[in-house]
Homo-oligomer: A and B are copies of this chain.
């Protein structure tokens, strides 16, 4: 059992999003568990789960459909991106090993390059160059940089596929542990504050372990977001990140308007919010009835 959480550069046109989702859902044995779209990011995230073969096929079909329907030359959105299918992470669930996801990333990456003529970069645990491990590094300069420099800059040479981008751009394919994509909305129009808080909490600036963060504006001009990937909620929990942001915003007289999850989260990460906020001495995924039912069902 594993999960694939591809991100597509379309968060506005419903027909395009439906077509991509349908392509993923057309594979028996793979299920689309969740779809999250944002018009300001102009981006859609699907969560697909199942066994390796069907999930790989679903990810490929969705990527192929996105390449037909999305033109990066006219795509605008506040979220950085390099391609129509921007990133395709494979994530081990349950007893599945990371190695399986790394192999799947290489296989699907090779196929995307060969059949769709799209440059593919392997990232995360599947990365073959250390500087491609982190997605923010890989995405620096975005599609526009690749369009200008890919043919001439050997540092940008893809792992698979051509050294040039068409309208579908390039795709990062990789393997990683489950992460929690978590946003906190602040009741202020001040994007600078969101950015300052993001800089203060992200690991790359010496902040919280396993936290990637950026400030974003939203569809509502009165609020801004601190948008995060929590790479290891055992080290930095959803609750502790919320508390840190809440306190930093309160110092400027700004309150938290809402929290938002992009995609799904492991039971453990959400139960841990209950543990911390209500001061449970002991509370974890084993406290949840469904966890035991799942173990029983998988026996």
A264 touches B239 (CB 8 A): no
Residue on B with the closest CB to A49?
B292
Q: Which residue of the partner chain, among B260, B264, B279, B293, contacts A288 with CB atoms under 8 Å?
A: B264
Q: Which residue of chain B has the shortest Cβ distance to A293 in the bound complex?
A: B294
Does A74 sit at the interface, judged by CB under 8 A?
Answer: no
Given the complex of chains A and B, what is the CA–CA distance between A238 and B283 in angstroms? 13
Q: A34 to nearest B CB, angstroms?
A: 8
State the copy count for this chain.
2
- A interface bracket (residues with beta carbon within 8 Å of B): 35 or more
Give chain B residues whose Cβ lies under 8 Å from the Cβ of A257: 279
Inter-chain contact B292/A264, CB cutoff 8 Å: yes
Tell me, rounded to whole Å, the shortest Cβ–Cβ distance linking A286 to chain B.
Answer: 8
Report if A94 contacts B (CB, 8 A). Answer: yes
A1-58 residues with Cβ-Cβ distance < 8 A to B are 1, 3, 31, 33-34, 49-50
Given A261-B283, A278-B238 in contact, is the A49-B296 Cβ separation under 8 Å? yes
Stretch at the interface among A111-119, A207-215, A267-275: A267-275
A–B pairs, 13, beta carbons within 8 Å: A49-B289, A49-B296, A93-B293, A239-B277, A239-B278, A264-B287, A264-B288, A266-B290, A267-B267, A270-B270, A273-B277, A274-B274, A294-B297
